[in-house]
């Protein structure tokens, strides 16, 4: 029952992928990463689906060369969720999430405040910052005492803008201020 509902929800991905086999591969990866244990790596989802003794190049191409975007994967979920709400306004909750990383050559990774650290002792983590948006479904309006359910509809990487160093020129500071202002205005849209 739960599998049928999940497959129905992601059935809208057929519009996202150019070929049927690419769509099936994406669904297989989604199910495998959902069910596998431990770290959710691409190699672990390939192994969970029983394809670890086959050629992995097509699976890696799905993530590196295909023309799909992350927002196009959430679009069918967003359409179905908006149909369930019959109110003037849609409540959206946002969450700032940090994904721990260990590699020092990852382009968008930076030192950030650990949200789990106590307020009197700030700890830092090396990671990538993401912003997640979820729509809150008002289930309490349907007569039962159920609390609102949140449905994720967007997951976007939001890297920190690197601040100029001590020896930076006035021009570097102006470039930094413009980039920061541009990033804030882009997030508001």
Q: 67-91 pLDDT, tens per residue?
A: 788 888 888 888 888 887 888 888 8
Do the beta carbons of residue 87 and residue 138 sit within 8 Å?
A: yes
Give the whole-angstrom CA distance, residue 70 versus residue 75: 9
First-residue to last-residue Cα distance in the chain: 37
Say whether pLDDT at 126 is over 90: yes
For residue 83, the model assigns a pLDDT of 81
Q: 156-175 pLDDT, tens per residue?
A: 888 888 888 888 888 999 99
Say whether pLDDT at 57 is over 80: yes
Report the sign of the C-alpha dihedral through residues 14, 20, 23, 28, in that order: positive
Q: Is 75 left (phi over 0), alpha (psi -120 to 50) or beta?
A: alpha
Per the structure block, which two tokens stand in for 13?
């991905």
């Amino acid at each position: 029952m739960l599998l049928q509902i999940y497959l129905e929800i992601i059935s809208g991905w057929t519009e996202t992928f150019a070929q049927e086999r690419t769509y099936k591969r994406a669904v297989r990866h989604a199910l495998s990463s959902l069910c596998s244990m431990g770290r959710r790596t691409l190699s672990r989802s390939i192994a969970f689906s029983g394809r670890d003794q086959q050629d992995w190049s097509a699976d890696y191409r799905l993530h590196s060369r295909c023309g799909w975007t992350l927002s196009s994967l959430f679009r069918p979920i967003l359409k179905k969720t908006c149909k369930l709400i019959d109110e003037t306004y849609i409540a959206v909750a946002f969450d700032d999430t940090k994904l721990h990383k260990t590699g020092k050559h990852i382009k968008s990774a930076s030192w950030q405040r650990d949200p789990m650290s106590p307020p009197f002792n700030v700890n830092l983590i090396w990671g990538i910052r993401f912003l997640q948006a979820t729509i809150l479904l008002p289930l309490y309006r349907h007569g039962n005492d159920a609390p609102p359910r949140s449905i994720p509809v967007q997951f976007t990487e939001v890297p920190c803008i690197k601040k100029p160093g001590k020896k930076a020129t006035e021009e570097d500071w102006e470039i930094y201020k413009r980039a920061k202002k541009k990033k804030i205005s882009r997030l508001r849209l």
